[in-house]
Amino acid sequence: MENYKNYGPQPPAHLSDEMKEWWRSVIADFELDAHHLKLLKLACESYDRAEQARAVLSIAGTVFVDRFNQPRARPEIKIENDSRIMFARLLRELNLAGADLPRPPGLR
């Protein structure tokens, strides 16, 4: 693990250790404006949220039985999926690879 502690703004305290380390590596490798830091924070939070949902699913499974004794998908499935999509979109928005990635088509 590299030492990034001397670089720029420190990660928010509520992030997981994994995301704090990623934050530090991004700060060390890229020049980010204030609005990029907000996007980076959201990306880290999205990743953490997806991991939290995945952890619940690994314990509780993907299905529960409702009050009518019918199987239902656990809400954590949607949370995990939505958080992964948000993380991917925020990464694209931050453009950390430095490449001009194709944008999705605009809405009319």
Q: 3-state class of 14 per DSSP?
A: coil
How many independent structural domains does the chain possess? 1
Average pLDDT of the residues in 73-101: 89
Q: Residue 37: inside a domain, yes or no? A: yes
9 within some domain: no
Give residue 106's Cα distance to chain centre: 24
- In which band, very low, low, confident or very high, does the pLDDT at 96 lie, cut at 50, 70 and 90? confident
Specify whether the CB–CB gap between 69 and 49 falls below 8 A: no
Q: Is residue 104 part of a domain?
A: no
- Enclosing domain of residue 45: 17-94
Q: For residue 28, what pLDDT is reported?
A: 92
Residue 21 located in a structural domain: yes
**Percent of the chain's residues with pLDDT above 90:** 78
Quick one: CA torsion of 1, 87, 8, 96, rounded to 10 degrees?
90
Residue 88 located in a structural domain: yes
Task: Tell me, yes or no, whether 100 lies in a domain.
Answer: no
In a domain, residue 35? The reply is yes
Q: Is residue 43 part of a domain?
A: yes
pLDDT at 1 over 50: no
Provide mean pLDDT across the span 99-104.
60
Q: What is the pLDDT of residues 29-68, one digit of tens each?
A: 998 999 999 999 999 999 999 999 999 999 999 999 999 9
